[in-house]
Structure 1
Amino acid sequence: MPDNLADPAFHANPHPAYASWRREGPTRKVRLASGLEAWLITRYDEARQALTDPRFSKNGGDDNHPSSAIDRALSRHMLAVDPPDHTRLRRLVSAAFTARRIEAMRPRIEAITAELLDAFPSGGAPFDLIDAFAFPLPIQVICELLGIPADDRDAFRAWSNIIVGGVAYRDQFPGAAAAMVGYIQGLLAARRAEPGDDLLSGLIQVRDSGDSLTEDELVSMVFLLLIAGHETTVNLIGNGVYLLLSRRERWERLCAEPALIPAAIEEFLRYESPVETATFRITSEPVTIGDRTIPAHAPVLIGLLSANHDEARFPDAAEVVLDRPQNPHLAFGHGIHYCLGAPLARLEAQIAFTGLTSRYPGLALAAAESDLAWRPGLLLRGLFTLPVTPGQPA
């Protein structure tokens, strides 16, 4: 009987299950909340290899493209296709999503962070750090980067929560996806009429040897950038603050040693990876891993969170080591699908944790750890809420 990954106890704390499964072998059969059976890769070396193995395909060798506009919007981005389509899309998007464009955002990210910190409630009243800080920072950054009007961000948040919410939102998914696709199409039309210096205009205008993104590819890429560009960073900030405040000595050390912040962020990425499993692959042929053979045309999940806790790769893997000297985690993936937005996520997180630790050294959890709820589903790993008290601002 495959292991049931829909168990609420598993979502609340998957680490014991992953540890047990790694001891038993690098692969196993699992059952998802949808009822689908899949194969899960649990160990670091095998996960890293699978992320670069072309036999683990994004389309399983199926060249038939989805027919509906909604399906195309979900499946024409570079995370959903194999080479040569992936190679072409990544080249075109990279031409607009440059390191210079990301670094140019630094002053604005610092300003947004300061504004959010200034708005923390006074008098020590508890508040939700996710709602007040971890969500609005990355959503405002990605929306400004793309050129999305501020007034539309609440609607986008509602759509995004449904789209990434998994089986619990299955009935609401088509409506939310259709609404977001229609909204993106409207944005693209507006930018064509009046181009700006935002990333959206850049994606429309980018050219490479006469090539450009088609309308479906543009919609799909903006969809990916919007979802991936904020949901993962929300979890990085929220999970990191949780790991610090749940053991007070960690928080106090980071406040006292701000030079540790970059290394600490890498440890947050490893220990509570914002993306729990990589997006589905399909085997294009039988693939043997360890002593088990995954058959052809089988769905496969690569367990990034589990791989990042592999004792064979990370000494003291079950401990949070803020100054871990070597940390080759897989939180951003590996190989051709390595996260294009990793530099932006790291920049946002460094500014966020610098601001939090310097302005609010008295920040503390305002709820028992057992009362904190983790979002269900296997794609993203993050808390619904993180109640805190601010303490006296510095």
Structure 2
Amino acid sequence: MRILLATDAWEPQVNGVVRTLTRTVAECRAMGHEVETVTPDQFRTVPCPTYPEIRLALGADEEIRERFRAFEPEAVHIATEGPIGLAARRICLEWKLPFTTSYHTKFPEYVSARFPVPVQVGYAYMRWFHKPSGRLMVATPTLRDELVKHGFRNVSPWTRGVDTELFRPDREPIYPADWPRPIWLNVGRVAVEKNIEAFVELDLPGTQVVVGDGPARAELEAKYPHVKFLGARFGEELAQCFADADVFVFPSWTDTFGLVILESMAAGTPVAAYPAHGPIDIIPGSGAGAIDDDLKTACLECLKLDRKQVRAYAEKFSWRSSAEEFVRNLQPHPEPEKTRFWRRLRRLARIRRGVAA
């Protein structure tokens, strides 16, 4: 298929959404599909308020429209609800193109954490955005159930994968030998919605480590001098951080999945978390982690787990099966209608150019 993916989240952003989308694109291409990405790095952008690392492509509607015309997609997926997602949505509705969407971020909760905006307002916007979608893809059953309760429809599963070659237990140690054990690790964006303060405030033996960067890092680093803030790490170094830790601590209540959970498990490091979306779907019964309303209890429980069993559980998740599920969820034009549509659109474009001349 010719698949067009429109997303406001893309490299050089570093987060689970970007990793999911880039790996999905790579796997789809490996399966023989042609994938066109419409991403912020292709347009003029402005920094997102309160989050300058995220760039917003404002006023790119006509350029995006031309990308649609040039590529003539057979299936369209809109991954985010920002300016690019909105532009792609408008084009699909205007041209009566079927499209699918996905729910990667608990947007209403994120906005409410930063601005005085009620969560209900955020959900009203999200319902409006996703309502015309043929399928709304979500990562976990509990998120699907919650969205259905909020009035969303056509909700379909789209699970995640993990790179078990990069994230594996047999890595060289990375933490200094004089750091007291156990090593308690958190990896991710250092921002208010990630609830990192719940982790760094825990009274735990050993050493607490935070890997990542973000708007809250400077404040937390000054407030909690006993915690080791290492900044962002990538690739092999990041894999070492996971493998050399004793327990990975995931304090977020707002993530829809938490890709770092699988990355930690693939490295053989068990995961302690609250019973939130993502952890509650992945961890119970796995032997690869513990969830509890008392995060310290979950942390200490993880020290008893067999790291070989943790790794074995992660090996059940692959990016290929994730991409195959994504493709199954797409809703392409039927072949004859698709051909007629793009032929008609090219003809209209030629007529408009002639009138303009």
TM > 0.5 between the two? no
More helix by percentage: 1
| Interval containing the TM-score (normalised by the shorter chain) | under 0.3
Between 1 and 2, higher relative CO (CA 8 Å, sep ≥ 6) is seen in 1
User: What is the TM-score normalised by the length of structure 2?
Assistant: 0.26
User: What is the TM-score normalised by the length of structure 1?
Assistant: 0.24
More strand by percentage: 2
